Amino acid sequence: DQQVKQNSPSLSVQEGRISILNCDYTNSMFDYFLWYKKYPAEGPTFLISISSIKDKNEDGRFTVFLNKSAKHLSLHIVPSQPGDSAVYFCAANLFRGAQKLVFGQGTRLTINP
Amino acid sequence: KAGVTQTPRYLIKTRGQQVTLSCSPISGHRSVSWYQQTPGQGLQFLFEYFSETQRNKGNFPGRFSGRQFSNSRSEMNVSTLELGDSALYLCASRLGGGDTEAFFGQGTRLTVV
């Protein structure tokens, strides 16, 4: 039972344009959500998070939107840069105060010059 | 401020052996979580330690165990290794309590032959 899903295995975007990465979840008990960026053979790098009580969080070029009724979140990167090319993971946390992250399968983002 | 340090980076073991992986969290962080990444299963939660106590456990067999020391450093042990245990093992450090961001180390690549 995959509780967090990233349905697009890959996404290709032109440099300077907006990248939109999507994530769906099934468990309404998740209390916060995170996005990570990962290069091969390295650990994930934290990008941005959002609490389940908010619908938007912004940090520089990165904005995360949460739609609780649709159980959907998205990460917007504007403008996209070549260095953004990586695999992006959406993660959701199940227990308030403690941590048990449930990860999606990842989306490979490629930024084309 | 130093990041999360995992040792060793690479390890090759034989089936049936046991292995111990080490994780030093960011200074001041009290929560350490462990994750396994494989191509087939993605990133999966193993367990979380906070103040030397296991607070959460994922769906892994008892061959996977861990502990946390008073200085917050953590070790993960896998006994009776199987070929399927070959994976990237990631440690995540968190301040603890109600904060959300988890910071990952570079991981230990374990190969079981």
Q: What is the pLDDT of residues A29-71, one digit of tens each?
A: 888 899 999 998 788 999 999 999 999 999 999 999 999 999 9
Burial of B98 (0-12, 13-18, 19+ CB in 10 A): exposed
Lowest mean pLDDT among A26-35, A84-93, B64-73: A26-35
Alpha carbon of A7 to those of A32, A74, A89: distances in Å? 20, 12, 11
Tell if the CB–CB gap between A101 and B100 is shorter than 8 Å: no
If you compute the radius of gyration of chain B from its CA atoms, what whole number of angstroms results?
13
The residue of chain B nearest to residue A1, with distances taken between CA atoms, is B41
Residue linked to tokens 């649709």: A70
Strands B10-13 and B108-112: parallel
Say whether A32 and B97 touch across the interface (CB within 8 A): no
Distance CA B95, CA B25 (A): 9
Q: Between the CA of residue A37 and those of A2, A82, B28, B39, B95, what are the distances in Å?
A: 20, 14, 24, 16, 20
Q: Is the pLDDT of residue B97 over 70?
A: no
B48–chain A Cβ distance below 8 A for any pair: yes
